[in-house]
Structure 1
Amino acid sequence: MTSPLIDVPALQDRLAAGQRIVLLDVRWVLGDPHGREHYLEGHLPGAVFVDLATELATPAGPSHGRHPLPSLPDFQETARGWGINDGDAVVAYDDSGNMAAARLWWMLRNAGLQDVHLLDGGLAAWRGAGLSVETGPVAAAVGNVTFDASSGGGQMRSIDANGAAGWAATGILLDARAGERYRGEFEPVDPRAGHIPGAVSAPTTANVDGAGRFLPAEALRRRFEGLGITADVPVAVYCGSGVTAAHEVVALEIAGFRAALYPGSFSEWSNNPERPVATGGGPIGDAAASGGSVAL
């Protein structure tokens, strides 16, 4: 299993060796619509800006959630616009602990690309190493990457609302949002507060340290084992709109577990009045439901 992560020294080594690497900046967080402006103020040299809302999602709708996945042909065309060619390595990053960039990692892996990584620690790690940043836009030459359409772009595991409804009966369904949203104490964007019945709270904030770097594999494995996950237990993850749930999929992969993503997530689930919503602690209890990020 190829590591989802690359650190700054390893990226420098690969760049110094002349390897062709496409750098993609996914600067976006909930409540801040100025990701492109932040990118223009400073990004890794040569990095191309990726607009999560328009390039990693299609328009929102009650039946599909706030960030529906684009079709494989549309996503291929977008990736070519970022300059990706067949055989290229891709490194994605953001400035929020890779909470947004993980969405791009999952989508590229789902489309069949294998040499795709997140820059551990993101832009802060690059700057922390004393390396220079570049300002202004980067326009890439159009690439020729061809995505694997043999399974409809389904190289990664995913589930729909029906799958999520029955998942807890035979496996573990993780809710990657902040604990207060899981418990139904606070809901800033979706129509109903609470969580999918049977889901276990596992906020994405517990995947990273104070510098936004993923915890070591051993620490992540202990975390998920404490939530009842073993190699024999099927795991799926959702969040608010399928963005930060991808971050949890990354953390699980680092820990040695493969997980399915529910792309529609709670924004899709809570818009359907026929789907039940639970509030309060849940299977593992309030202790597992701590954490304070607004997961998307």
Structure 2
Amino acid sequence: MTHPFDAAVAAFSPTLPLGVAFSGGADSSALLLACARRWPGQVHAVHVHHGLQAAGDDFAAHCAAVCARWQVPLVQRRVDARHAPGDSPEDAARQARYRVFDEVLQQEWQALGIRTVALAQHADDQVETLLLALSRGAGLPGLAAMPARWQRSGVTFERPLLGLPGQVLRDWLQAQGEIWIEDPSNQDLRYTRNRIRHQLLPALQAVFPQHRDTLARSARHAAQAQGLLLELAEEDLKRVGHPPAIALLQGLSAARQANVLRHWLRQAHGCMPSEVQLKELLRQVQACTTRGHRIELKVGRGQVLREGGVLGWYN
């Protein structure tokens, strides 16, 4: 009988050569080893040193040794992933990783022809992401959790292991006689994700053994609904203009105003307003009925201001 992990890798059909994000942990080690065996000479690894803990140097050394033994070319980059006050540590680290991916892909990997990058998140990571989003009162983008496939800067990112529990990956890797490193921060219960992993998921497993499949289905429903909202936002942004005309915005329902303004701010200015900020922006737009009425609101690292009949943005 085919091992579930082997079946998942066999079903993965990336464009070669392939890049694999490699942390040195069990999940990325299993994915990198399986891909290197399936496509020898066609796989390249990238390791990001986040600069957040002293053990990071040991992680980097481990990754270099493993890649040398497996004969997999490795690119390593060090970043400062410290988060600003009030920001999510996890989000800061993720954004730092993607900045590295952009840099590597645009330079070294582009020369190698790499247009697909594989990430090793699995079904338990997906459940944690969805529960974390619920704990923060997230909207549909958060409830959609992690996509299995998406594009960034012309490169396709794929998560071929999202249907597998994490233990399946670790069991497979152990059966290969391989070792991995454990990130000590994964045991730190100050982080909400770790409390979900160590305290909530065991309870879910005991009460709802099928929770991975059912929550993944909910995430897919949310992703589909978010896709429809995105299509509507793009149509409405064409209607109200870029930048948005205040009078045309006022002709939309409050829900469509909120949807198109979120899309405009995210697409054009790279920021996502909080619920409080968006509510206040909608109030100011609705109240803007005279020539001298001002609109002024801080959103993210910038400000939304009225410029004649349209909304402007200033950093």
Could you say whether these structures have the same fold, taking a TM-score greater than 0.5 normalized by the shorter chain as the test? no
Instruction: Report which structure shows greater RCO (CA 8 Å, sep ≥6).
Output: 1
User: What TM-score results when the alignment is normalised by the length of structure 1?
Assistant: 0.33
Structure number with larger C-alpha Rg: 2
* Higher-helix-fraction structure: 2
